[in-house]
C-alpha cells in the first residue's frame, strides 16, 4: 500500500470476521501557513508558557483543567486521562444496518477507505459484504476505537471496495429549525419556479472536482512568488458578487436569455413613437451659409 494504514483489524458480522486495513480518504492540501516575524530584526516570534504572577513555567508542572465555572477548574493529570482512554479494539462490530438515505448527511464527518488484507479468504468475504450492501441498499453502523477514542462509523460500498465514514453523535449536531424561522411557508410563483428550473437545467453538467480550486490560496501563492522574484503579483480572476437583485422575475428572465418585461415595454414604447420630422431644405441651406460666413473670421483670429 502506498500509504500507512490509519487502523488495522477486523470487520465482524455475526460469526464472520474480515481482516481489513483502514486508510484516510482525504489529504491535507498544500495550504499556506504563516509564522509571525519581528519585522525590525527579522527573527521569528516564539511563545513561552507563562502563569500570571509566576512567569515562565516548567512543562512538567502543567496539568489539564476543565472549566466548570468562570475561573474554577477541575484539574486532571495525563495519567488520569490515560486511565479512562478506551483500550484499542481491533474489531469493528457491525451492530445495525440502516437504509443509506436514512442517515442525514449532517452526521457524516470524515471518510476512510477500507481494503482487505492480502489473502484470498479475506478478499472473498470482503467482496461478499460489499455486494450484499449494494444489493440491499443498506449501510452498516458500528464502532471503531483508534488512538484512545471511540468513533461511531458507517460502512458503505464505494466504487470497487468499501469505505467507512465517522459519524457525529447527536449532541454534536445543532437543530436546524431556529435558523430557518424566517423562511416563508408560502409556495413560490409558478412562473418564477419554472424560470429557476430552466436556469438550473441549462447550467447542469457532470461534477468534476478538478475544475475547482481555492482562489484565495492561488492569490497568496502568486503574491509569495512575486515577492520572491521581486515583481508585481498577477491579478487572480474571481467572480464578483453583484448588487442585490430587486426584481427576481426580471433577473431570471435575463439569466435564461428571455426578454424581460422592462425590455419588452421599452421596445413597444419605441415602436409607438412617431418618426422625427426632418428640417426643411431651406433651413439647412441657411445654416450652411451661416457657417461659411463665420469660417473666415475664425481663421483670421487664429492668424
Report phi then psi at 64, rounded to 5: -95, 145
Q: Return the exposure string of 21-31: e unless at least 16 CB atoms fall within 10 Å of the residue's CB, then b.
A: bbbeeeeeeee
Structure confidence by residue, pLDDT tens digits, 79-103 = 888 777 766 678 998 999 999 899 9
Structure confidence by residue, pLDDT tens digits, 106-162 = 999 999 999 998 777 788 999 999 999 999 999 999 999 887 788 999 999 999 999
pTM over 0.85: no
**Residue owning grid cell 445495525:** 96
Structural domain spans, the chain:
7-26+85-172
**Topology of the domain comprising 7-26+85-172:** Ku70; Chain: A; Domain 2 (2.40.290)
Rounded percentage of the chain residues whose pLDDT exceeds 90: 41
Mean pLDDT, rounded, for 223-230: 88
Please provide the average confidence, as pLDDT, over all residues in the chain: 81
- Is a pLDDT exceeding 70 seen at residue 75? yes
Pairing mode, if any, of strands 7-13 and 16-24? antiparallel
Q: What is the pLDDT of residue 130?
A: 95
Amino acid at each position: 500500500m502506498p500509504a500507512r494504514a490509519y487502523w488495522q483489524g477486523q470487520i465482524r458480522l455475526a460469526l464472520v470476521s474480515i481482516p481489513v486495513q483502514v486508510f484516510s480518504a482525504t489529504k491535507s492540501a498544500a495550504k499556506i501557513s504563516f509564522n509571525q516575524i519581528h519585522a525590525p530584526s527579522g527573527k521569528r516570534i516564539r511563545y513561552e508558557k507563562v502563569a500570571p504572577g509566576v512567569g515562565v513555567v516548567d512543562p512538567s508542572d502543567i496539568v489539564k483543567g476543565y472549566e466548570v465555572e468562570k475561573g474554577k477548574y477541575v484539574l486532571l493529570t495525563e495519567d488520569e486521562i490515560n486511565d479512562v482512554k478506551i483500550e484499542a479494539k481491533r474489531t469493528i462490530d457491525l451492530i445495525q444496518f440502516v437504509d443509506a438515505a436514512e442517515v442525514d448527511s449532517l452526521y457524516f464527518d470524515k471518510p476512510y477507505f477500507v481494503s482487505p488484507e492480502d489473502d484470498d479468504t479475506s478478499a472473498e468475504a470482503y467482496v461478499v459484504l460489499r455486494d450484499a450492501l449494494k444489493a440491499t441498499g443498506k449501510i452498516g453502523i458500528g464502532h471503531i476505537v483508534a488512538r484512545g477514542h471511540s468513533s461511531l462509523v458507517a460502512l458503505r460500498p464505494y466504487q470497487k471496495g468499501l469505505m467507512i465514514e465517522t459519524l457525529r453523535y447527536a449532541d454534536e449536531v445543532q437543530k436546524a429549525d431556529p435558523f430557518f424561522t424566517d423562511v416563508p411557508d408560502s409556495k413560490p410563483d409558478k412562473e418564477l419556479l419554472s424560470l429557476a428550473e430552466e436556469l438550473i437545467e441549462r447550467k447542469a453538467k457532470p461534477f468534476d472536482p478538478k475544475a475547482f480550486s481555492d482562489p484565495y490560496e492561488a492569490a497568496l501563492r502568486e503574491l509569495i512568488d512575486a515577492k520572491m522574484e521581486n515583481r508585481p503579483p498577477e491579478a487572480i480572476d474571481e467572480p464578483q458578487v453583484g448588487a442585490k437583485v430587486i426584481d427576481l422575475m426580471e433577473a431570471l428572465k435575463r439569466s435564461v436569455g428571455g426578454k424581460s418585461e422592462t425590455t419588452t415595454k421599452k421596445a413597444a414604447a419605441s415602436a409607438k413613437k412617431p418618426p422625427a420630422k426632418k428640417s426643411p431644405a431651406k433651413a439647412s441651406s441657411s445654416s450652411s451659409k451661416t457657417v461659411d460666413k463665420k469660417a473666415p473670421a475664425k481663421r483670421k483670429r487664429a492668424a
